[in-house]
Amino acid sequence: MTSHAETLVRARGASRVRRARGQWAAWAFLAPVIIYLVAFYAYPLYRNLDLSLRHYTVRSFVRGDAPFSGAANYTTVFSDPTFGPALLHTMVFTLVSIAFQFAAGLALAVFFAQHFRLSATLRALFLVPWLLPLIVSASTWSWMLNSDSGIVNFFLTSVGGDPINWLTSPSWALTSVIIANIWIGIPFNLVILYSGLQAIPGEIHEAASLDGASAWQRFWRVTFPLLRPVSAITLLLGLVYTLKVFDLIWIMTKGGPVDASTTLATWSYRLSFGNLLPEFGPGAAVGNLLIVIALIFGLLYIRKAAP
Amino acid sequence: MNLRGLGAALAVTACLLTACSSGDGGDATSAKDATYAVWDPYPQFDDSSDWVKLLTRCGTDAGVTVKRTGYDTTDLTNKALLAAQQDNSPDVLIVDNPVVSTLAEAGVLTTTDEMKTDTAAVSPNLLAAGQQGGKTYGIPIGANTLALYYNKKVLDAAKVDPATIKDWASLTAALGKVKAAGKKGITFSAIGTEEGSFQFLPWFWGSGANLKQLDSAQGVAALTLWSDWLKNGYAPNSVLNNTQTTSWQEFAAGDFAFGENGTWQLANAKKTGFEYGIIPVPSQAGGTAPAPTGGEFVTAPVQSDTGKYAATQKIIACLTSADNALTTDTTLSYVAATDAVQQKQVAANPELKVWVEAVRAAKGRTSDDLGTRYPKISQPMWGAFQAALSGSKNPQQAMTDAQAAAGK
């Protein structure tokens, strides 16, 4: 009896030791990813939130003793005359860009799904805008749209039109950066939607056409609904990419003239880095607003995708 | 799970924590006392350049090793602020002059008194950009400023003698003649950044206006001058988006009579293939307008280890000594900050005479004890000329709004 109880106790103890050791190992394996997440996601986010809640001057930035100022930076940002236009421009820029990118990307994807000769080559060519470094494509666009020596105005005047001040007129600047951004974003939509189309089995199309569906009906009744999950993720990613577009606008117009093409992203940069005297607090506050907007759409997507 | 697995996982974790990839981290700390960090905004120079050789030699003379890093000039302010926050400032920081007051305000820089830097020979108008509250926070390494380049062929064709351009009226009249002759008038940079403000200031100050009162009659007159040029087609609409480099490219293409640009384009001017000349920016009433000074200051950031200052002093004295300043300013295409060296420069290259005069008339943007108030004025000011030139506001309204924003 006693020997039996002893073995039992010993076995239990050994299993406890083994379990404890197993737990340590589990934590140790988890640690790299946790450290990575904390160091590169949680901490920067926390710092940005902290920056936006304190009154920073250059002096207090260096000393690290900026007083807590609550929502003061947010009030400053909301009451700034730039806020309204910047928010509006961000919305217009994002929605118009995405609408055109998605429509053009889908049309091209359907077109390339036909598998004609050279379709692979042409598709590869369409990727060029996505492959070019942004500084290259944005600078090229800004040369092409130059009021005086740009090729677009040269073309306009040679067909008898009036030249347009694409980048320097308050009524055209936003349109110009949107056009450039649509051009850059089409390949991304094309590639993802094309791969989505590949996943739709051909038999369904065959069955539909046997049932007498026209090409148009096949697209709207078969392709489009089956493409919905892929479309949703394309739109969400496009939204996040477009919300934060900064380099393109900064290179082409610097957000100007005046604030005509300023979005929240360029405004945030201008506040924090675009001046001799950095305003980190309001800059961080605008950055946080962008994060919140992206987060809202991300949550919407998750809720939609869940059931 | 066995112990070996645990060990491996822990090793990976430990590596992540201590950044085990950086092998030379240990050496740097042990040799810290003898290594002096110098940051400059001249990334175009590599280790084989005269500038870096000079830095190395000045370090060796002071008995230390210099570790030099070149940053993009727009990057350097934030890099310097962050480094100060981490108590990791370079020993010598060479920084654009309007930034000096920002860094001084942050408490990042030592004064020239503390560093026993001799600033007596430096022209007072150049030194003023680094002065705030009666203290001086650095010494200029050299200066540059703006003037008007002209294309001789275009002016000849329009029958304009550049020597007759003495004030705004004669300049505008010349632009009219050039346009009538089928050529383009003047190009400059009116972009919505500090660069645009830099280009606007010679006209703003040339009208007699003061940065503390943007919407004065003189300030509005300066803006009206620019916006009328655009309205009359004397200046292209592209100025709104021009950096000084793109503006230079427009001028170098050969169609423009005038281009407002800086000392640093002098080497490029020789490559344009047409005959050019340089006149100072005229003021409204006649004479040379005060243009803003460009160029960097040599500063010594505050160190927690004040024992390092002795060698820092020697390095700064070496960099700004007359002989070395001549070499540096020639390399950078700058005008020297002291009379004596300026005279040597003109003796060596008579073409620099007009630039030396322009630098003598020039004024620091942060001078007049404006200091860190300048950036808060400059931003509404560039907003104002962007608004007026793009036609969204008239000059008076633009300047009134700008003053309201700057006065906040």
Per-residue pLDDT of B32-59, as tens digits, reads 457 899 999 988 888 888 889 999 999 9
pLDDT attached to residue B199: 95
**Same-domain check for residues A89 and A20:** no
Q: Which CATH number is A108's domain given?
A: 1.10.3720.10
Contact A61 B106 (CB under 8 A): yes
The 10s digit of each residue's pLDDT in A213-248 is 888 888 888 888 889 989 998 998 999 889 889 999
**Same-domain check for residues A198 and A131:** yes
pLDDT attached to residue B8: 46
Rounded to an integer, what distance in angstroms lies between the CA atom of residue A249 and that of residue A80?
21
Q: How many domains does chain A have?
A: 2
pLDDT attached to residue A12: 60
ipTM for the whole predicted complex goes beyond 0.90: no
**Same-domain check for residues A6 and A99:** no
DSSP-based three-state secondary structure for B293: coil
A236 belongs to a structural domain:
yes
pLDDT attached to residue B120: 85
Pairing of β B92-96 and β B35-40: parallel
**Same-domain check for residues A243 and A289:** yes
The 10s digit of each residue's pLDDT in B108-140 is 899 998 888 888 888 899 999 888 888 999 999
**Same-domain check for residues A46 and A97:** no
Average pLDDT over residues B232-245: 91
Contact B192 A254 (CB under 8 A): yes
A58 belongs to a structural domain:
no
**Same-domain check for residues A46 and A176:** no
Query: Residue A168: closest CA among chain B residues belongs to which residue?
Result: B240
Q: Rounded to the nearest 5°, which phi and psi values hold at B229? A: -60, -40
The 10s digit of each residue's pLDDT in A168-196 is 888 999 999 999 999 999 999 999 999 99
- In the stretch 218-277 of chain A, residues with CB closer than 8 A to chain B read 253-258, 260, 273-277
Lowest mean pLDDT among A4-8, B104-108, B368-372: A4-8
A247 belongs to a structural domain:
yes
Give the CA angle between residues B36, B38, B40 to the nearest 5°.
175
**Same-domain check for residues A160 and A249:** yes
- Go through the domains of chain B in sequence order and give each one's CATH number: 34-140+296-333 (3.40.190.10), 146-293+366-406 (3.40.190.10)
Using an 8 Å CB-CB cutoff, list chain B residues near A63.
85, 107
Q: What is the DSSP letter of B90?
A: -
**Same-domain check for residues A260 and A163:** yes
Picking from B71, B374, B390, B393 by the largest number of A CB atoms within 10 A of its own CB, the best residue to mutate is B390
Q: What is the pTM of this model?
A: 0.83
Tokens representing B116 are 């026993």
**Same-domain check for residues A127 and A23:** no
Positive or negative CA dihedral for B395, B222, A252, B150? positive
Query: Which band of pLDDT confidence, cut at 50, 70 and 90, is reported for residue B312?
Result: very high
A175 belongs to a structural domain:
yes
Task: Work out the minimum CA distance from B137 to partner chain A, whole angstroms.
Answer: 15
CB under 8 Å to A271, separation ≥6 — which residues? A278, A279, A282, A283, A286
Picking from A167, A258, A271 by the largest number of B CB atoms within 10 A of its own CB, the best residue to mutate is A258
A61 belongs to a structural domain:
no
Question: Where is mean pLDDT largest: A11-15, A45-49, B128-132, B257-261?
Answer: B257-261
> Which has more pLDDT, B150 or A23?
B150
pLDDT attached to residue B305: 86
The 10s digit of each residue's pLDDT in B148-171 is 999 999 999 999 999 999 999 999
Structural domain containing residue A235 = 81-305
Contact B85 A256 (CB under 8 A): no
A62 belongs to a structural domain:
no
Please give the share of chain B, as a percent, with pLDDT higher than 90. 52
> Which has more pLDDT, A59 or A138?
A138
pLDDT attached to residue A21: 74
**Same-domain check for residues A90 and A47:** no
